[in-house]
């Protein structure tokens, strides 16, 4: 078979060293023919490897599986094999093609009923041989359609970028080394290691398992996780019965396992489910729905007014075609068809701004919910605190105490015995050595090149062993069994035996002190096990409380032949320092009416120490345990949780109860977390926020938002954006509605009073472009005001059109209508309407529009407070509209289309002065509001 150029290029370097194995003995150079033959044979063998259907793979023995997939189960695939298989099977991902071409999307814009009405008007103009009018209307339609298309296309492209979420990762064995890879890089035959919290990266046939439970609800709808095994199945039933196969997209809830990839991408069972998920349309946000309702109401109102105008005009004997054209043009200008697009674009732009601040928002509706959030429930470890935990203090079971230096997972630092400050290495102190040894053995973390793979707590214990030069001690043991940590039992244990020795099994356990001590009957004293007395227990308990009260996370360690007869080894104090900026963020959130509550599995003393350190509830702390939560009735719980700032010794069910209770009390709840035990709470909260680096795949899957840098203070930025976006939409609505009402009222009044129309059809369409175009759009990208975060959370029932906003809309509209009618009256000679009359009226209305846009940049702040040059896009848009208006007035071809004539400089100065009145009056009203109506400081809608 002849290989393509690309394949040859891909293979050349990878294969060279591989082919050396086939060099004939005694030959100085490899024979070209032999090497070529070997290359083709291996390539052909790799091409024979196919994906295995789950129902076949489940019946294969490990040896048959390895043979079918041409893989060594102990070392994994070679890089050469991976490249060959990728050429055949592609990347482990799904590509959903967008079948609708761009030209069709453009033509779809013409389906708008208003556009069709305009085109009908142009057709009537052609029939009546008024070709200039027809050309003018056609050009206006093209401009309106193109502007709408660009806005929608930009919105879609932005959303496509947002849908590229944090890519799933996995631990893969290749060429004998465990590597951390993106899931998309997998090929059939890869060996994958699974642990608690992982999302399964491809369809796997399991070859090793330890108490593995997998959540397959994406396939079966069953909430209960499935128990998995590595034994061969005799019969293959439905996919739900395949206990030795795990499927892509499912979640590891418990235990650990190892499996071989049997299906990737489109060939996996999840392929069809994924396609169905992609086919589902994203539901509209509550804000979009309310904007749609507003648009429909205004449309019906506008059509009623327009119909009345046309009827009165016809009864007055005016030219029917002229009235029809003006009516349709007015409909296009008055009906806010751009509202839904602006809402989407504004939300998307806000999300993209968040992305620059390292916050990924997975779902568009979350943006508007952020502005309403008034309670943040936060997991402590890895969220409020740093994700690099460090052991700083040791207390052995026989009373020795040691201090540990160094931070992070690089192994730098020493263990100092107190009070002598002697540096300890290996077993120079037996009690400390045995304590460190236990922490290293009952551990699943790996530190390689200063990078930790696993849980931070376990990483800290490995780093401690590295400082004691005991990091390799776990290699002398063979692990027979593991009892994984769970939030219910609060401990983990492993059953081991020494390599090459026929000694009895030994258990190593680590976990919460009050749980581990229950399994101990002895304590270690210089390497000798002595009976555990109540006095010893009381001493350990006192030490545990002392360490916890200083902000340390305390782990107890034990070992022994049986779980009920363990020897207590001592306590390890691990510090998880608060993240930089957390204290400041908590303080700002508190001042703005957002309550921050800490939920942790740690003991009371540890939780309170961290709470005081970060300034929770301004130092006025009230704490509640998980046990106390269980004793409260539902009604009592809802009223109690509002006043509690720290919840300690909690399980996932407690976190869920807290969130549900807060929601029942009327709060809008955000939950931040990183662990498997946070997943349920993240899913049930109004806003679930996961950590991007320390977070497990389960938590990222359940969350609506991901903090890429795990920085809690970025939540403050996200809430700020949420509030700012809502205010920007209000600004846009005020501008657009005041312009719509002004245009409608102007034509209505002139028709009812039997006056000539002050604006012609083309001029109305030009006003529509300004109203829906760049100046209006630029209001949606107004930078977030620095004082926005200090505003109390918005009530979720608040509508866009508040009473205050409606009054401001009508105030602006009345000023615009009065000023424009004044100019029309002033410039209307007795002999009848002239081009100068319409030019002055038209220019006056446009200038009013631009000054109105300027004051709509903020509802409460004066222009000098928000900064004249802060929104550069707005300035460019207004400048462009102003130059466009001058072109309409002074460029001859445009004069003919818009029926305008040249104006004098004094005319422009007069119109500028008059139009600025809408800006001056609005700014004066803001000034009076600031002086007379001081804003009340509240703590949000719901306390």
Give me the active site residues, please.
379
| Distance in angstroms (rounded) separating the CA atoms of residues 284 and 289 | 6
| Distance in angstroms (rounded) separating the CA atoms of residues 187 and 191 | 10
| Distance in angstroms (rounded) separating the CA atoms of residues 482 and 477 | 13
| Distance in angstroms (rounded) separating the CA atoms of residues 115 and 563 | 78
CB-count exposure of residue 525 (10 Å: 0-12, 13-18, 19+): middle
| Contact between residue 871 and residue 783 where contact means Cβ atoms under 8 Å apart | yes
Which residue carries 């004939």 as its tokens?
24
H helix intervals, 569-712: 582-591, 604-614, 626-631, 634-640, 652-664, 679-684, 697-702
Residues 6+ positions from 13 with CB-CB distance below 8 Å: none
For residue 562, give the 3-state DSSP assignment.
coil
**How far is CA 363 from its chain centroid?**
7
The DSSP secondary-structure symbol of 76 reads B
User: What are the tokens at 534?
Assistant: 């109540």
Closest C-alpha to 543, from 481, 144, 486, 552: 552
| Distance in angstroms (rounded) separating the CA atoms of residues 296 and 337 | 9
H helix intervals, 478-563: 513-516, 534-549
| Contact between residue 660 and residue 643 where contact means Cβ atoms under 8 Å apart | no
Sheet with 595-599: strands ordered across: 359-361, 705-707, 687-691, 669-673, 375-379, 595-599, 646-648, 623-625
Q: Which helix (H) or strand (E) holds 661?
A: helix 652-664
Closest C-alpha to 231, from 255, 207, 247: 207
CA separation, residue 740 to residues 432, 521, 689, 737, 821 (Å): 79, 82, 40, 5, 16
**Rg of the chain, C-alpha, whole Å:** 36
User: What are the tokens at 47?
Assistant: 């091409």
Which residue carries 């936060």 as its tokens?
378
Widest CA span of the chain, in angstroms?
A: 119
Asked if the bond preceding 637 is cis, omega within 30° of 0, the reply is no
Asked if the bond preceding 212 is cis, omega within 30° of 0, the reply is no
3-state DSSP of 82-103 = HHHHHHHHCCCCCCCCCCCCHH
């Amino acid at each position: 078979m002849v290989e393509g150029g690309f394949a040859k290029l891909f293979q050349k370097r990878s294969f060279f060293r591989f082919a050396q194995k086939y060099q004939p003995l005694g030959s100085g150079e490899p024979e070209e023919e032999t090497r070529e033959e070997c290359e083709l044979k291996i390539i052909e063998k790799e091409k024979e490897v196919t994906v295995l259907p789950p129902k076949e793979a489940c019946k294969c023995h490990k040896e048959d599986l390895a043979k079918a997939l041409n893989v060594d189960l102990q070392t994994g695939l070679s890089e050469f094999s991976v490249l060959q298989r990728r050429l055949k099977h592609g990347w482990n991902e799904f590509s959903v093609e967008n079948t609708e071409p761009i030209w069709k999307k453009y033509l779809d814009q013409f389906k708008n009923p208003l556009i069709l009405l305009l085109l009908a008007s142009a057709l009537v103009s052609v029939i009546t041989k008024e070709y200039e009018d027809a050309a003018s209307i056609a050009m206006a339609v093209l401009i309106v359609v193109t502007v709408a298309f660009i806005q929608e296309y930009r919105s879609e492209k932005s959303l496509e970028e947002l849908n590229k979420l944090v890519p799933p990762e996995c631990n893969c064995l290749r060429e004998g080394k465990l590597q951390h890879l993106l899931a998309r890089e997998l090929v059939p035959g890869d060996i994958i290691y699974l642990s608690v919290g992982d999302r399964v990266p491809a369809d796997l046939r399991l070859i090793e398992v330890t108490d593995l439970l997998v959540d397959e609800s994406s396939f079966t709808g069953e909430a209960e996780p499935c128990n998995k095994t590595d034994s061969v199945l005799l019969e293959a039933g439905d996919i739900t019965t395949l206990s030795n196969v795990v499927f892509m997209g499912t979640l590891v809830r418990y235990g650990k396992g190892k499996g071989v990839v049997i299906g990737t991408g489109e060939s996996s069972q999840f392929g069809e489910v994924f396609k169905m998920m992609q086919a589902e349309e994203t539901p509209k946000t509550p804000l979009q729905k309310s904007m749609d309702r507003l648009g429909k109401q205004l449309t019906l109102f506008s059509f009623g007014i327009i119909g009345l105008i046309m009827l009165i005009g016809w009864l007055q004997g005016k030219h029917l075609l002229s009235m029809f054209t003006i009516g349709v043009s007015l409909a296009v200008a008055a009906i806010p068809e751009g509202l839904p697009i602006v809402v989407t674009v504004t939300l998307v732009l806000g999300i993209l701004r968040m992305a620059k601040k390292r916050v990924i928002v997975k779902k568009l509706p979350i943006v508007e919910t952020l502005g309403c959030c008034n309670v943040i429930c936060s997991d402590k470890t890895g969220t409020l605190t740093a994700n690099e935990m460090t052991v700083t203090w040791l207390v052995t079971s026989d009373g020795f105490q040691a201090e540990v230096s160094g931070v992070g997972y690089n192994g730098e630092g020493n263990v100092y015995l107190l009070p002598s400050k002697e540096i300890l290495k290996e077993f120079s102190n037996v009690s400390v050595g045995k304590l460190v040894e236990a922490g290293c053995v009952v551990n699943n973390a790996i530190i390689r090149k200063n990078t930790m793979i696993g849980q931070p707590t376990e990483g800290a214990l490995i780093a401690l062993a590295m400082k004691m030069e005991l990091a390799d001690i776990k290699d002398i043991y063979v692990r027979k069994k593991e009892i994984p940590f769970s939030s219910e039992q609060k401990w983990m244990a492993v059953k081991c035996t020494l390599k090459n020795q026929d000694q009895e099994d030994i258990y190593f356990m680590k976990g919460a002190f009050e749980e581990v001590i229950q399994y101990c009957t002895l304590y270690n004293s210089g390497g000798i096990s002595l009976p555990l007395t109540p006095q010893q227990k009381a001493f350990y308990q006192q030490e545990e409380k002392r360490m916890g009260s200083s902000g340390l996370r305390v782990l107890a360690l034990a070992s022994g032949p049986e779980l009920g007869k363990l020897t207590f080894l001592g306590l390890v104090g691990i510090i998880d320092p608060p993240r930089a900026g957390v204290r400041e963020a908590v303080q700002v959130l508190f001042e703005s009416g957002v309550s921050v509550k800490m939920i942790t599995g740690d003991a009371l003393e540890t939780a309170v120490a961290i709470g005081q350190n970060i300034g929770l509830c301004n130092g006025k702390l009230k704490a509640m345990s998980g046990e106390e939560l269980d004793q409260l009735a539902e009604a009592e719980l809802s009223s109690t949780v509002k006043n509690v700032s720290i919840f300690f010794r909690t399980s996932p069910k407690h976190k869920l109860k807290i969130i549900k209770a807060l929601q029942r009390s009327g709060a809008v709840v955000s939950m931040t977390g990183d662990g498997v035990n946070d997943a349920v709470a993240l899913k049930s909260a109004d806003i679930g926020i996961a950590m991007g680096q320390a977070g497990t795949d389960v938590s990222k899957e359940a969350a609506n938002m991901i903090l890429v840098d795990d920085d809690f203070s970025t939540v403050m930025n996200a809430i700020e954006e949420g509030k700012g976006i809502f205010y920007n939409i209000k600004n846009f609505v005020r501008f657009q509605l005041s312009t719509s009402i002004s245009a409608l009222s102007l034509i209505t009044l002139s028709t009812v009073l039997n006056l000539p129309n002050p604006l012609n059809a083309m001029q109305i369409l030009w006003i529509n472009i300004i109203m829906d175009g760049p100046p209006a759009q630029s209001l949606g990208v107004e930078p977030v005001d620095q004082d926005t975060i200090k505003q109390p959370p918005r009530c979720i029932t608040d509508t866009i059109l508040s009473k205050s906003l409606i009054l401001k809309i009508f105030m602006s509209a009345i000023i615009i209508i009065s000023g424009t009618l004044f100019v029309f009256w002033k410039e209307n000679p007795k002999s009848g309407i002239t081009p100068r009359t319409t030019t002055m009226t038209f220019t006056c209305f446009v200038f009013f529009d631009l000054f109105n846009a300027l004051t709509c940049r903020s509802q409460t702040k004066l222009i000098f407070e928000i900064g004249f040059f802060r929104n550069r896009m707005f300035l460019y848009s207004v400048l462009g509209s102003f130059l466009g208006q001058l072109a309409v007035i002074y460029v001859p071809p445009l004069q003919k289309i818009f029926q305008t004539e040249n104006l004098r400089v004094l005319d422009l100065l007069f119109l500028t002065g008059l139009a600025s009145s809408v800006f001056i009056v609005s700014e004066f009203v803001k000034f009076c509001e600031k002086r007379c109506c001081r804003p009340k400081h509240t703590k949000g809608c719901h306390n």
